[in-house]
Amino acid sequence: MSEPDHTLPECPIARFLTVLEGPWATLVVRELLMGPRRFTELRAALPGISPKTLSARLKGLERTGLLTRTPYAEVPPRVEYELTEAGYRLQTVFTAMAEWAERDLPVR
Protein backbone atom coordinates (compact mmCIF):
# COMPACT_ATOMS: atom_id res chain seq x y z
CA MET A 1 0.00 0.00 0.00
CA SER A 2 3.01 2.30 0.26
CA GLU A 3 4.41 1.96 -3.23
CA PRO A 4 5.78 5.09 -4.86
CA ASP A 5 3.83 6.72 -7.69
CA HIS A 6 5.75 5.08 -10.51
CA THR A 7 4.57 1.66 -9.41
CA LEU A 8 0.93 2.48 -8.73
CA PRO A 9 -1.13 -0.70 -8.57
CA GLU A 10 -3.20 -1.88 -11.53
CA CYS A 11 -6.47 -1.84 -9.60
CA PRO A 12 -7.95 1.68 -9.68
CA ILE A 13 -9.44 1.28 -6.19
CA ALA A 14 -5.98 0.40 -4.86
CA ARG A 15 -4.54 3.40 -6.75
CA PHE A 16 -7.12 5.66 -5.15
CA LEU A 17 -6.17 4.34 -1.71
CA THR A 18 -2.45 4.70 -2.37
CA VAL A 19 -2.87 8.40 -3.09
CA LEU A 20 -5.56 9.20 -0.53
CA GLU A 21 -3.70 7.32 2.18
CA GLY A 22 -5.29 7.46 5.58
CA PRO A 23 -8.10 9.64 6.84
CA TRP A 24 -6.22 12.94 6.96
CA ALA A 25 -5.46 13.11 3.25
CA THR A 26 -9.16 12.65 2.53
CA LEU A 27 -10.18 15.29 5.06
CA VAL A 28 -7.62 17.75 3.66
CA VAL A 29 -9.16 17.25 0.20
CA ARG A 30 -12.64 17.72 1.69
CA GLU A 31 -11.55 21.14 2.98
CA LEU A 32 -9.89 22.15 -0.29
CA LEU A 33 -12.98 21.19 -2.30
CA MET A 34 -14.51 24.32 -0.75
CA GLY A 35 -11.76 26.49 -2.22
CA PRO A 36 -8.12 27.53 -1.72
CA ARG A 37 -6.89 27.46 1.87
CA ARG A 38 -3.84 28.59 3.82
CA PHE A 39 -1.91 26.20 6.07
CA THR A 40 -3.30 27.82 9.22
CA GLU A 41 -6.85 27.64 7.87
CA LEU A 42 -6.47 23.93 7.19
CA ARG A 43 -5.12 23.34 10.69
CA ALA A 44 -8.04 25.20 12.22
CA ALA A 45 -10.53 23.20 10.14
CA LEU A 46 -9.01 19.84 11.12
CA PRO A 47 -8.86 19.62 14.92
CA GLY A 48 -6.35 17.00 16.01
CA ILE A 49 -4.06 17.12 12.98
CA SER A 50 -0.41 17.83 13.79
CA PRO A 51 1.48 20.40 11.70
CA LYS A 52 3.89 17.61 10.69
CA THR A 53 1.11 15.36 9.43
CA LEU A 54 -0.66 18.20 7.61
CA SER A 55 2.59 19.21 5.96
CA ALA A 56 3.31 15.61 4.88
CA ARG A 57 -0.19 15.13 3.45
CA LEU A 58 -0.02 18.42 1.53
CA LYS A 59 3.37 17.47 0.06
CA GLY A 60 2.04 14.04 -0.93
CA LEU A 61 -1.04 15.48 -2.63
CA GLU A 62 1.11 18.05 -4.44
CA ARG A 63 3.48 15.31 -5.64
CA THR A 64 0.56 13.32 -7.05
CA GLY A 65 -0.71 16.39 -8.91
CA LEU A 66 -3.85 16.86 -6.84
CA LEU A 67 -3.01 20.30 -5.48
CA THR A 68 -0.79 23.29 -6.12
CA ARG A 69 1.12 25.33 -3.56
CA THR A 70 1.36 29.07 -4.27
CA PRO A 71 3.58 31.31 -2.12
CA TYR A 72 2.76 35.03 -2.14
CA ALA A 73 5.53 37.58 -1.53
CA GLU A 74 3.74 39.38 1.27
CA VAL A 75 4.59 40.34 4.83
CA PRO A 76 3.96 38.07 6.61
CA PRO A 77 4.50 35.49 3.83
CA ARG A 78 1.35 33.73 2.67
CA VAL A 79 1.09 30.29 1.05
CA GLU A 80 -2.10 29.03 -0.51
CA TYR A 81 -3.04 25.46 -1.33
CA GLU A 82 -5.53 24.81 -4.11
CA LEU A 83 -6.80 21.67 -5.79
CA THR A 84 -5.88 21.08 -9.43
CA GLU A 85 -8.60 20.13 -11.92
CA ALA A 86 -7.94 16.46 -11.17
CA GLY A 87 -8.26 17.25 -7.47
CA TYR A 88 -11.55 19.08 -7.93
CA ARG A 89 -12.87 16.09 -9.88
CA LEU A 90 -12.67 14.13 -6.60
CA GLN A 91 -15.93 15.89 -5.74
CA THR A 92 -17.90 13.04 -7.34
CA VAL A 93 -16.20 10.49 -5.06
CA PHE A 94 -16.85 12.61 -1.97
CA THR A 95 -20.47 13.13 -2.93
CA ALA A 96 -20.90 9.35 -3.30
CA MET A 97 -19.21 8.76 0.10
CA ALA A 98 -21.39 11.36 1.80
CA GLU A 99 -24.64 10.12 0.24
CA TRP A 100 -23.87 6.55 1.25
CA ALA A 101 -22.96 7.56 4.82
CA GLU A 102 -26.05 9.77 5.18
CA ARG A 103 -28.25 6.83 4.23
CA ASP A 104 -26.46 3.79 5.61
CA LEU A 105 -24.37 5.11 8.47
CA PRO A 106 -26.62 7.34 10.56
CA VAL A 107 -25.23 9.16 13.59
CA ARG A 108 -26.60 7.21 16.55
Q: What would you measure as the largest C-alpha separation in the chain, in angstroms?
A: 48
Question: Count of residues for the chain?
Answer: 108
Q: Does 100 bind a second copy (CB under 8 A)?
A: yes
Q: Does 13 bind a second copy (CB under 8 A)?
A: yes
Stretch near a second copy under the rule CB under 8 A, chosen from 8-16, 36-44, 55-63, 73-81? 8-16
Identity of the residue, 79 or 94, whose beta carbon is nearer to a second copy in the bound complex: 94
Return the C-alpha torsion angle 55, 49, 4, 1, nearest 10.
180
How far apart, in whole angstroms, are the C-alpha atoms of residue 77 and residue 4? 32
CB of 54 to a second copy, least distance (A): 14
Q: Does 42 bind a second copy (CB under 8 A)?
A: no
Q: Where are the alpha helices (DSSP H) in 1-108?
A: 12-19, 22-32, 39-45, 51-63, 85-88, 91-104
Among 3, 22, 28, 58, binds a second copy (CB under 8 A): 22
Q: Does 44 bind a second copy (CB under 8 A)?
A: no
Of 19, 4, 105, 15, nearest in space to 66 by CA: 19
Binding residues (CB under 8 A) for a second copy: these are 1, 5-6, 8-19, 21-23, 26-27, 30, 48, 64, 86, 89-90, 92-105, 107-108
